[in-house]
Amino acid sequence: MRVLVTGGAGFIGANFVRRTVETRPDVEVVVLDALTYAGDERSLDPVRDRVDLEVGDVADTDLVDRLVSAADLVVHFAAESHNDNSLADPSPFVRTNVLGTFTLLEAVRRHDVRLHHVSTDEVYGDLALDDPARFTEATPYNPSSPYSSTKASSDLLVRAWVRSFGVRATISNCSNNYGPYQHVEKFIPRQITNLIDGHRPKVYGAGANVRDWIHVDDHNDAVWAIVERGVLGETYLVGADGERSNLAVVQDLLEIFGRDRDDYDLVADRAGHDLRYAIDATRLRTELGWVPRYTSFGEGVARTVDWYRDNEAWWRPTKARTEARYAASGQ
């Protein structure tokens, strides 16, 4: 099988590529990635001799058509994904997330290639902190940022191409990921690398906002479960029952580093900060038999801390620039 992975040098995509190469020796992997600031070719180093890398734009019609025509499966991770960046300049989000998905859909339509589209739970908006509900496949879309609205748009394009043109596709909406090779602008690696440097971690607002955390390997195992056993045209939610407030995450990290649980700084809250995300992954578990390996957030995040400690050369070049940008916005 020949698999085209868009965004395969980004955080989740590169972890998917490495895991695929390591566990599925019969799969040939081609990566398409624009290598923007969030994509890093070094994330593919452990499997570089077994992966073909094409540097380019997912909205490039000719390039995408050529790559799709030679593929048996496309797994579409390519996306602009940082909410704060989408508020500063939404245009790259529209180009990559909307136009890029359209370009890919037209290519898989022409060549009748199976597609799996990877998306986010942020398309559903947010929940109240005291709301017992969780997102399900039936939850109405209610995106609250340029990022989440462009992802919602891409999801709806996939659904329309399935219904209108018979494109063979599935969709997954996943909760917040953590794990190795994640850019230091993201919440967990930012706090880990601050602690490695001997600095205090930063908590946005009061730290009450809740995210439903999942280890990136569990997410990518779910993607393969959907590709291999999912029903075409359907959507599956991916989550590992990992709800934790931002403050609780920071305190978990402080404990791992042997620091006092109150040794953190409160900083300005993020603009339009969604309150709570929570995924009900019952369908994925019962219909496809997927179960997460990392049922303990503490175990998963401790392994992630070890990775950042052991791979400073990977994250160090971007750390100072990232912190300077946060400091300029009071964070």
> Is 327 within a domain?
no
pLDDT (tens place) for every residue of the chain, 331 residues total = 999 999 999 999 999 999 999 999 999 999 999 999 999 999 999 999 999 999 999 999 999 999 999 999 999 999 998 888 898 899 999 999 999 999 999 999 999 999 999 999 999 999 999 999 999 999 999 999 999 999 999 999 999 999 999 999 999 999 999 999 999 999 999 999 999 999 999 999 999 999 999 999 999 999 999 999 999 999 999 999 999 999 999 999 999 999 999 999 999 998 788 999 999 999 999 999 999 999 999 999 999 999 999 999 999 999 999 999 999 989 9
Residues 202, 142 within the same domain: no
Residue at 287 is within a domain: no
Residues 251 and 134 in one domain: no
- The residues that are catalytic are 121-122, 147
Are residues 143 and 201 part of one domain? no
Tell me: do 224 and 267 sit in the same domain: no
> Same structural domain for residues 113 and 141?
yes
- On whether both 228 and 301 belong to a single domain, the answer is no
Cβ neighbours of 287 (radius 10 Å):
15
pLDDT at residue number 215: 99
pLDDT value for 273? 84
Whether residue 17 is found in the same domain as residue 118:
yes
Q: What is the 3-state secondary structure (H, E, C) of the chain?
A: CEEEEECCCCHHHHHHHHHHHHHCCCCEEEEEECCCCCCCHHHHHHHHHHEEEEECCCCCHHHHHHHHHCCCEEEECCCCCCHHHHHHCCHHHHHHHHHHHHHHHHHHHHHCCEEEEEEEHHHHCCCCCCCCCCECCCCCCCCCCHHHHHHHHHHHHHHHHHHHHCCCEEEEEECEEECCCCCCCCHHHHHHHHHHCCCCCEEECCCCCEEEEEEHHHHHHHHHHHHHHCCCCCEEEECCCCEEEHHHHHHHHHHHCCCCCCCCEEECCCCCCCCECCECCHHHHHHHCCCCCCCCHHHHHHHHHHHHHHCHHHHHHHHHHHHHHHHHCCC
> Residue 270: what pLDDT?
82
pLDDT of the residue at 159:
99
Residue range(s) defining the domain that contains residue 265 = 184-211+242-273+295-320
Cα(323)–Cα(131) distance, integer angstroms: 34
In-domain check, residue 24? yes
pLDDT of residue 311: 98
State pTM to two decimals.
0.97
Residue 271 pLDDT: 79
Note whether residue 284 is domain-resident. Answer: no
> What is the b/e burial string over 110-148, where b = at least 16 CB atoms within 10 angstroms of the residue's CB?
eeebbbbbbbbbbbbbbbeeeeeebbeeebeeebbbbbb
Q: Does residue 216 sit within a domain?
A: yes
Q: Is residue 265, in this structure, part of any structural domain at all?
A: yes
Task: Please say whether the dihedral angle defined by the alpha carbons of residues 328, 258, 219 and 57, taken in this order, is positive or negative.
Answer: positive
Residues 195 and 231 in one domain: no
**What pLDDT shows up at residue 141?**
98
Q: What is the pLDDT of residue 272?
A: 80
- 135 in the same domain as 249: no
In a domain, 198, yes or no: yes
- CA nearest to 239, candidates 186, 188, 182, 284: 284
Number of domains in the chain: 2
Tell whether 191 and 229 lie within a shared domain.
no
130, 202: one domain: no
Check which CATH number belongs to the domain holding 301 and give it. 3.90.25.10
Does residue 152 sit within a domain?
yes
Are 142 and 60 found together in one domain?
Answer: yes
Q: What is the CATH number of the domain that holds 89?
A: 3.40.50.720
